[in-house]
Amino acid sequence: MVAWACLMGATRSARAQPAPEPPPAESPDAPSDTQPEAPPEAQPAPEPPAVPSPDPPKPAPQGLDAESLLDLATSRFERGNYAKAAEILAGLLRVEIDPETPEGKKRRDVYLRARPLYAACLVAMGNEERADRVILEQYRDDPFYELPRGMFPQPVVDRFIEVEAAHREEIERRKADVVAGQQDLAKKRAALAKARAARLAELERMAAEKVIVTTRSRFIAAVPFGIGQFQNDDIGWGAFFAVGEGLMFTTALVSFIYVETLPAPDSVDCGSQIEFDDDGVARPVSCSALTERYLIGRGINYASLGVGLGLLVSGIIEAQVSFEAQDVTKTKRAIPPPVTPDAIVTEEGAYFGLTGRF
């Protein structure tokens, strides 16, 4: 800024100096001791100094990153060396970037600061057409860009105002595109955050459930007395078959023992056999009564044995039909906190830290 002001002030001073007065004309009557000199040959008018053009730009100095090159160009600009500053900035801005990468985003920030400085250098050198193209490129890259107040002289500010006015429709369309892109990006980020929250909730739900898998056996399912039903976690049917089969086989066993203690009717001589009644009085054995007791006991034995065998077979069939190879049981369990404080006290001192569980 100091160099720019000095340059503009020196130009105004040079324009304000009065022109030198011409020497007084000699009288034609005055004697002259010298011969008149021949008029000097006409000299060609000096050509105006050529305005250096930054196109094509020279490569930027090697070994410096984008931020360092911008600092170097800023130093040249502040000292009034606009041509050198423009050369450095042109070489810097030649490098194409990918704004999606971290390095590209960082370099884009440098470009947004470098283009206004480059345009100021071009305005100082009189190359306003090129300066307008640089300014328009700046607005296309950032349609919301505003030139910092007091950073550049008024001619540069005027160029930015004129370029913005001349391409207002294009800049407004670019603003609308940027806003729409930001809104779309915000929607995508919100959807991604929602999906992540749902996934985290599902993971926490799964982590809060403890799954126990029990493998079952076909052999155990063939065991009677409700063992197969108990293995299948069918307590009702298991109790039914266990009680029913146990009762029937017990009845069959008791009735069998009872019948075996009775003499067979065809092997007893009813006339020679006696029996005692409840009062202890002896009397002849009734063949009809003996036969009746024998037949009843034998009938109960056969019936209980048959029903017991039927329950046994039915229980095995039911257990095999309802058999499942695995039993999956889910139980609740507490989820440990992600980070817990940890403290250890030793003879050398106390240690504090955090312990994470994943």
- When comparing pLDDT for 196 and 41, which is higher? 196
Is there a domain that residue 349 lies in? no
Q: Residue 156: which of 198, 127, 190, 180 has the closest Cα?
A: 127
Question: Quick one: average pLDDT of 51-63?
Answer: 51
| Residue 9 forms part of a structural domain | no
pLDDT band, very low/low/confident/very high, at 38 (cuts 50, 70, 90): very low
The reported pLDDT for the residue numbered 352 is 64
> Do 143 and 167 contact (CB within 8 A), yes or no?
no
In a domain, 189, yes or no: no
Residues 157 and 237 both lie in one domain? no
Confidence of residue 354 (pLDDT cuts 50, 70, 90): low
Q: Which residue, 194, 317, 307, 184, is CA-closest to 251?
A: 307
Domain match, 162 and 223 both: no
Q: Which residue has the higher pLDDT, 290 or 166?
A: 166
Give the pLDDT score at 3. 44
Same domain, 231 and 138: no
pLDDT band at 292 (very low <50, low <70, confident <90, very high): confident
pLDDT of residue 294: 82
**What is the model's pLDDT at position 8?**
43
Q: Tell which of 135, 166, 197 closes a domain.
A: 166
Q: Please write down the long-range contacts of 119-122, taking CB distance under 8 Å and 24 or more positions apart.
A: 119/156, 119/159, 119/160, 120/77, 120/152, 120/153, 120/156, 121/54, 121/77, 121/82, 121/83, 121/85, 121/86, 121/89, 122/54, 122/86
265 belongs to a structural domain = yes
Do 133 and 230 fall into the same domain? no
CA angle 173, 175, 178 (to 5 degrees): 110
Q: Is residue 85 part of a domain?
A: yes
Q: Are 158 and 237 contained in the same domain? A: no
Residue 257 lies in a domain: yes
The structure's pTM equals 0.46
The answer to whether residue 36 scores a pLDDT higher than 60 is: no
pLDDT at residue 64 in the model: 78
CATH number at residue 139: 1.25.40.10
pLDDT-above-90 percentage for the chain: 41
Note whether residue 76 is domain-resident. yes
Choose the most confident range, by mean pLDDT, from 22-31, 134-143, 204-213, 336-345. Answer: 134-143
Q: State the pLDDT at residue 261.
A: 82
- Find the domain containing 130 and state its range: 66-166
Q: Give the count of domains, the chain.
A: 2
pLDDT band at 120, cuts 50/70/90? very high
Task: Judge whether 181 lies within some domain.
Answer: no
* 92-113: pLDDT as tens digits: 999 888 888 888 889 999 999 9
